[in-house]
Amino acid sequence: MEKTYEYKSQHGSDFSIKIGKLAEQTNGECIIRRGDTILLVTAVASDKPREGIDFFPLICDYQEKLYAVGKIPGGFIKREGKATDDAVLISRQMDRPLRPLFPENFYNDVQVIATPFSVDEDNEPDCMTTIGASIALGISDIPFFGPVAAVNVGYVNGEFVVNPNMNQREKTSLNLTVAGTADAINMVEAGANELSEEEMLEAMMIAHEEIKSMCAFIQTIIDDIGKEKMEVEKEVETELQRKIKDKYTEEIKNSIRTTDKVKREDDIFKIEEACKEDFLEEYPESEDEIHKTVDSIMKKEVRRMISIDKIRPDGRKMTEIRPLSAEVGLLPRTHGSGLFKRGQTQVLSVLTLGSPGEEQVIDSMNRKEVTKRYIHQYNFPPFCVGDIRPLRGPGRREIGHGRLAERALIPVLPDQSDFPYTIRVVSEVLSSNGSSSQASICGSTLALMDAGVPIKKPVAGIAMGLIKEDDSISILTDIQGLEDHLGDMDFKVAGTKDGITALQMDMKIAGINREVLKDALYDAKQARFKILDVITGAIEKPRDDLSKYAPRIFSIDVDPEKVRDVIGSGGKTINKIIDATGVKIETEDDGHITVASNDGDSGKKAIEMIKSIVTNPKAGDIYEGEVKRIMNFGAFVEIAIGKEGLLHISQIDTKRTEKVEDVLSVGDKIRVKVTDIDRQGRINLSRKALLIEEKEKSNKED
């Protein structure tokens, strides 16, 4: 039976929910509509867990459909294929607030799919996927501690805007997405133009007020038609687990307390091997249980040490940052490079500059053609954590971390009119023990300044953590891998000394309140300032000059009607310039022309050639021309590509010229002066006038 529910928002971002119309074989489904944006969100779970599984296999997918915006996919196949980066990021954004809201020991496969059927310009589908997923899961028989909702917040003309429309998104200095339950926030994603901690906190609280209202609405739907939930078996402590705890807890405690990640992992491995020797004969086929038990003891002890004893595994204070170092200019042939190290996390960022035509063109659901001038990519090879695995393309994590770093640095990049380069930065994680995404932001700041990119300010990032045991809450600055893995929060904050440029927060518990967020933001600010001091200690400001291996880019704005003259019939004119100078030339319909060259001289020459094409000659102008044709009465000299003038035989030399061929040959390069241009636009030239001027000048000097 179909049912429809209407949500009325105080901010004007109403939406409707229809249930029971489509996808009837799912555990739960809904159609969510806001404006003309319509999504089908489905939730399906397996009847029972896979044998031997000890983790929760949740899959969240947002699959773009270009028919939703009336577009046909590009390329030869004309079909959606590999998920775009934007689709991957929306899938992650849907996954992150849902994942902590499933019960422990629930190991059934669960898949949530959001499919956009129609998308308008004003209503972005990203937050709608989370709302729809919350409803589909909430009304299903899948165990889920929702509801959860998500909202976008912008900052336009000094005011916060909930779920901004297209025009507002173009003007906003904040792109914030917040998700959470009625009680707390559990996911944040943001890019900002140096907003203060107080402004960011206010924006999150405004978002949470709307989330509370939406969660109450979703709960009415669940109360109305929700199914009875599956039972989840509670885990009971076994005899083997008790024996391992009794014998090895102290050894595990001692192994945890070290700054060396490799040593800690080696010690834990040895403890597991000792457990196997002790218990496998008595408890055969219990290797997985031994591993889980050791891991459980380690988790409980780390959390107890931090929350009760206020001691971190490596002995640091709660707000203490691991040792920092920064270097630039490591790679001689690249355009810029920076190496940043924080504890055992080490990232090398490498920068390449290209012409404007090398911008990334994205085939997306946006109706306008989307291009990216700044491209930040993040790689996490297996050796950085001592692993072995096949090399594949970037996964969701790599794409997400790359986009976070990109967001953090975009606000400080120079305007394209001042620095017309395409910029690609690749961050290679060489060693990882937590917070590699934030280290990539620091390394990339170094690489940008090393390359001579005139960024407005340096940017640094720090990852904050949290351990919550009953009423005890411990906020950790600069979390290492163990604290991230066993903790309750990963809160990444990036920015300059003047404000925040990017945020990302994920929770493993239901969420956190305003006071915890406020304290975490304050501690992150203090840590960010210390890191920025290390960055500017390595390189105080962007270099004055680009690398000698970087292309030189020149630009010129011409009358749009003249662009066709620069291109010429079939590209003949522009190809002549390219052949003569070896440059790359890109033209735009508005008359903006850019020239990229490997050296300054060839670029300047190409610009001069373009100027000569688009500038109408006038009497008195002097040109370096080429003799193209010889006639009885004179020679035709090309003074610019596509522009010729007549050098009459009487104007070739100061003395009488009997035959043109006595002085000139086809292909000769000569200096000529424009004497006049007749009504038909015919250009008359003189070489004789320049020779006379040179002789008079020489006589004066003598």
Which residues have a Cβ under 8 Å from the Cβ of 24 and sit 6 or more positions away?
Answer: none
Tokens at 325, concatenated:
């170092």
Instruction: Identify the CA nearest to 667 among candidates 647, 637, 622, 639.
Output: 637
Helix (H), strand (E) at residue 30: strand 28-34
How far is Cα 493 from Cα 501, in angstroms, rounded to an integer? 8
Q: What is the DSSP string of 271-300?
A: HHHHHHHHHTTTSTT-HHHHHHHHHHHHHH
**How many C-beta neighbours within 10 Å does residue 564 have?**
11
**How many C-beta neighbours within 10 Å does residue 653 have?**
14
Asked whether residue 490 is marked as a ligand-binding residue, the answer is yes
How far is Cα 476 from Cα 493, in angstroms, rounded to an integer? 13
Q: In sequence order, what E strands does 63-105 have? A: none
**How many C-beta neighbours within 10 Å does residue 548 have?**
10
Number of residues written out for the chain: 702
How far is Cα 60 from Cα 365, in angstroms, rounded to an integer? 19
Cross-strand bridge partners of residue 38: 33, 118
Cross-strand bridge partners of residue 113: 42, 61
Q: What is the DSSP string of 380-446?
A: --GGGGT------S--HHHHHHHHHHHHHHGGGSPPTTTS--EEEEEEEEEE-SS-HHHHHHHHHHH
Q: Which long-range contacts link 633-638 to residues 24+ away (Cβ below 8 Å)? A: 634/660, 635/660, 635/664, 637/670, 637/672, 637/685
Determine how β-strand 489-496 pairs with β-strand 460-469.
antiparallel
For 247, list phi and psi in degrees, rounded to 5.
Answer: -90, -35
Q: Under a CB-based contact definition with an 8 Å cutoff, are residues 28 and 17 in contact? A: no
Instruction: Identify the CA nearest to 377 among candidates 342, 348, 346.
Output: 348
Q: Tell me which DSSP letter residue 35 carries.
A: T
Determine how β-strand 110-118 pairs with β-strand 37-45.
antiparallel
Tokens at 470, concatenated:
């009953």
Tokens at 149, concatenated:
């909702």
Q: Tell me which DSSP letter residue 560 carries.
A: G
Tokens at 482, concatenated:
């163990």
How far is Cα 274 from Cα 285, in angstroms, rounded to an integer? 15
Residue list for the binding site: 484, 490
Binding-site residues for Mg(2+), in ranges, read: 484, 490
